[in-house]
Structure 1
Amino acid sequence: SGKEEQGRFALQTSVDLLNYYNDYFGIPFPLPKLDHLAIPDFAAGAMENWGAITYREVALLVDPDNSSAGTRQIVAAIISHEMAHMWFGDLVTMKWWNDLWLNESFASWMGDKAVDAIHPEWDMWTQFLTADTASAFSLDGLSNSHPIEQEVNNPAEIGQLFDAISYSKGGSILRMLEDFIGASDFQKGIRAYLTDNSYGNAETQDLWSALEVSSGKPVGKVMDSWVKQTGFPMISADRAQDSKNIKLSQTRFLYDHIEDKQDNKEKTSWFVPIKIGSNLEDNLQTLLMESRDIKIQLETNQKGNVSWIKLNPNQTGFYRTKYTESDLENLKNAIVAGELNP
């Protein structure tokens, strides 16, 4: 069709991604070849057929003379998402549609992780926060949002599963989970899950079990609170000026702030992986918040006042933070003074 040159970027990208995925998953791509097919007027954006991924032309072809850097990033992200499915979706397939969220959100999160590895200059995780985490926050802060995992009883319900809660909130909590258990243990668990379930079907719980074994952490308990419940928490941090003692409280974040008017049974709580930084410590303090209210003391070997604290650095946790007015002022001063990145 005279468009051979427009396929070169996708070809090189897919070669780089194949090398990355073969290494990350520890299972070399098992088919003799992998084709990427550009189809005019293809209905879906792309489809992860095993060994023959199909795309709209605009999702695969890049004009070397006229395409923007943004177009290259979009094409790379789509290719990466579909190639992640070669393992997570094709080699191992979910048993039923209620686990669709895991199939799709894993491919979205993993796709960005792989693109970040081959193109670190694109700063994919900052883009992930604006494209995925922010859009999930905006939907999930509404009282009529829905849980990530939903029952599917008939084919008509399947189409309703493809939304920002399934893809973007799902991807965001996987990012939080990797940060909570550590990238190395996360990778070990993923490898075990894929190896144990190759050429078969699996459920979400099978993945949580593999990650529990690899990390020794209560992955199932933590993730059930995020997957099966609607919404997300706002973590309030309350402390006296310069104090190392902090009280953390969680309530469901809602734009109309109506939770307190509801019955107690509506007062949701989550198992929240918390990270806290301060002016006294380079290392972040980590803990798992397992109740609605906890009191903690900042661990530091340094003497002096705790002039500022910062929860959820790098926004790995899927929650919003509320500070006291004095701590907000302290954070502002730290940013102005260059002690803290905005």
Structure 2
Amino acid sequence: MKVENFTETSEINELFDLFTYNKGASMTRMLSSFLNENLFISALKSYLETFSYSNAEQDDLWRHFQMAIDDQSKIVLPTTVKSIMDSWTYQSGFPIITLNVSTGVMKQEPFYLEKVKNQTLLTHNDTWIVPILWMKNGTTQSLVWLDKSSKLFPEMQVSDSDHDWVILNLNMSGYYRVNYDKLGWKKLNQLLEKDPKSS
């Protein structure tokens, strides 16, 4: 975030409160989770070496991560690192991701801890580019991206008659909350009743 044209100390303090630092740490963890650890450390090291005795902006950090992505072929992102991370840094709050396991439709909506003072600031077009780490029936699945307000993931469908189950946001590495439809919660409840120590 850029800090400019603020005349009051209170306005500046609002930008750098506990929530801001917690969100920054959570977004860093999320970035690390959809990259691999070696790539994350390599990009961060490059950034720190380049800007060790100078000023930098967030775009400089994203540029170093993009350079690391461009230098390999294993990890493929749906768009640039800057686009992904800007969707998080230029919006307040975070999304709640809801999966309907009956249909496989996943949607995102803004989630705010407090009621927003000016509701006109919120538009229903606010979307994040969300990395979804997920598991089905105890097996970790390939990372998917929710980059629209809703998207169909047929591989996440389960029916009431089978023993399948799906869980999103493995290791709580993503900066979002998760909700399921009634069947999704029922399947997870059945799983925990059968084996309370299951994933």
TM-score normalized with structure 1 length = 0.48
Q: Which residue of 2 aligns with 1:187?
A: 41
**1:208 aligns to 2:56 (yes or no):** no
Structure 1 residue runs without a partner (length 5+): 1-148
For residue 175 of structure 1, what is the amino acid of its counterpart? R
Q: Residue 152 of structure 1: CA displacement?
A: 3.1
Q: Which residue of 1 aligns with 2:144?
A: 287
| Residues 185-264 of structure 1 mapped to structure 2, 5 A cutoff | 185-216=39-70, 217=77, 218-240=80-102, 246-254=104-112
CA contact (8 A) 1:275 1:287 kept: yes
Q: Which has the higher helix share?
A: 1
Q: Residue 250 of structure 1: CA displacement?
A: 0.8
Instruction: Kindly tell me the number of residue pairs found equivalent between the two proteins.
Output: 183
Structure 2 residue runs without a partner (length 5+): 71-76
| Alignment counterpart, residue 18 of structure 2, candidates 164, 189, 194 | 164
Rounded Cα–Cα distance in structure 2 between residues aligned with 1:267 and 1:328: 27
Q: Residue 262 of structure 1: CA displacement?
A: 6.2
- CA separation of 1:323 and 1:257: change in aligned 2, threshold 3 A: farther
- The 3-state SS of whatever aligns with 2:96 is strand
| Residues 301-340 of structure 1 mapped to structure 2, 5 A cutoff | 305=162, 307-338=164-195
Q: Residue 325 of structure 1: CA displacement?
A: 1.2
CA contact (8 A) 1:248 1:294 kept: yes
For residue 128 of structure 2, what is the amino acid of its counterpart? W
Q: Residue 170 of structure 1: CA displacement?
A: 0.9
CA contact (8 A) 1:252 1:267 kept: no
Q: Residue 183 of structure 1: CA displacement?
A: 1.2
| Residues 21-170 of structure 1 mapped to structure 2, 5 A cutoff | 149=1, 151-153=3-5, 154=7, 156=9, 157-170=11-24
For residue 49 of structure 2, what is the amino acid of its counterpart? T
Rounded Cα–Cα distance in structure 1 between residues aligned with 2:17 and 2:92: 14
RMSD over aligned CA atoms reads: 2.8
Q: Residue 189 of structure 1: CA displacement?
A: 0.4
TM-score normalized with structure 2 length = 0.80
- Percent identity between matched residues is 28
Q: Which residue of 2 aligns with 1:267?
A: 125
C-alpha distance after superposition, 1:170-229 (max 9, x if no partner):
111111111011211111100111122222221111111101111244211011011011
Rg larger in structure: 1
Q: Which residue of 1 aligns with 2:74?
A: none
- CA separation of 1:307 and 1:262: change in aligned 2, threshold 3 A: farther
Q: Residue 330 of structure 1: CA displacement?
A: 1.1
- The 3-state SS of whatever aligns with 1:318 is coil
Q: Residue 276 of structure 1: CA displacement?
A: 1.6
For residue 311 of structure 1, what is the amino acid of its counterpart? L
Q: Residue 158 of structure 1: CA displacement?
A: 3.4
Q: Residue 324 of structure 1: CA displacement?
A: 1.0
Rounded Cα–Cα distance in structure 2 between residues aligned with 1:165 and 1:231: 10
For residue 203 of structure 1, what is the amino acid of its counterpart? E
For residue 213 of structure 1, what is the amino acid of its counterpart? M
Q: Residue 247 of structure 1: CA displacement?
A: 0.7
C-alpha distance after superposition, 1:221-240 (max 9, x if no partner):
01101101111111110132
Rounded Cα–Cα distance in structure 1 between residues aligned with 2:48 and 2:113: 40
C-alpha distance after superposition, 1:238-288 (max 9, x if no partner):
132xxxx61111111246899xx9698453111001112111x52233112
Tell which has more relative contact order, 1 or 2 (C-alpha 8 A, sep 6+): 2
Rounded Cα–Cα distance in structure 1 between residues aligned with 2:21 and 2:113: 21
- The 3-state SS of whatever aligns with 1:222 is helix
